[in-house]
Amino acid sequence: MNPSEENEQAILHTPEDIRIFREIAGMPVRGGGCDFSSGAGIAAAGLAFLGRPYGAHTLEGEGPERLVINLRELDCFTLVENAVVLERLFRTGATGFPDYAATLRRLRYRNGILDGFASRLHYFSDWLFDAGAKGFLRDVTADLGGQWLVKSISYMTDHPERYPALEDEETFLRLREIEGRLSARPLVFLPREKLRRVEDRFQDGDILAITTGKGGMDVVHAGIALRLRRRVHFLHASSLAGKVLISPETLYGYLMKKKGRTGVIVARVV
């Protein structure tokens, strides 16, 4: 088997995914040298999925880890990562599905290398850190007046029954080691009480990660900032609504609806 055949077998997708990609890639905003901000590109990519169905556990499956491409239904994480990938393609003028798959793989896996279940960036703060190192995003939470968040990260290995891949002892131990590094890594978040003071500094297309008081977890939800009538709203894949939508309430209102939504981490495309 040659490397290209091996690479193709490591990707799981359907013809419908290719059709949806080509439809989005053909949007007017696409093309190298177009005059639009990176944030506008993120927002445009996110809005292209507006109304698309929510899907839980879309990346999980039997057998070895593969690059799963599912543009037919999205969860909050896959909505965000697809928006980041598509913005990069818009900006560079890349139009091919292989370009999309390669960029998605680079963003989804630690150091861009697919090496089993544990190589996937499961925790959102880890994904943001790795995306920053690879030049996709910059965490701007500290610039907005964020404060330190001290959190022990262990949710996945504390609940291995929810992740069949963790039945493998080596995979479990690899992930436990990763969680230890995450727990020791400094993390900054903007408490929800501070949001109104700095809301005017948010930009369209900012990546928003909702922090949580839940034990062992860093982030409970994620989406994209959209400014509507001078206020920041939340474009996200909602399990409750069953689709991708723009929150009718402001981001501040969304955060205040539930006590467990403690604040937000904000990242911006480089």
CA distance 114 to 96: 21
pLDDT at 62: 84
Domains, the chain: 3-123 (1.10.3670.10), 137-269 (2.30.260.10)
pLDDT at 6: 37
Per residue in 41-58, pLDDT (tens digit) is: 999 999 999 999 999 999
19-33, 145-159, 199-213, 255-269: which has the minimum mean pLDDT? 19-33
9-38: average pLDDT: 76
**Residue 55 to residues 3, 23, 70, 129: CA-CA distances in angstroms?**
32, 20, 9, 25
pLDDT at 33: 44
Per residue in 170-190, pLDDT (tens digit) is: 999 999 999 999 999 989 999
**Cβ count near 196 (within 10 Å):** 13
pLDDT at 269: 93
Reduced to 3 states, what is the DSSP secondary structure of residue 149?
A: coil
**Residue 82 to residues 20, 48, 158, 230: CA-CA distances in angstroms?**
12, 10, 29, 26
pTM for this structure? Answer: 0.93
Residue 38 has pLDDT above 80, yes or no: no
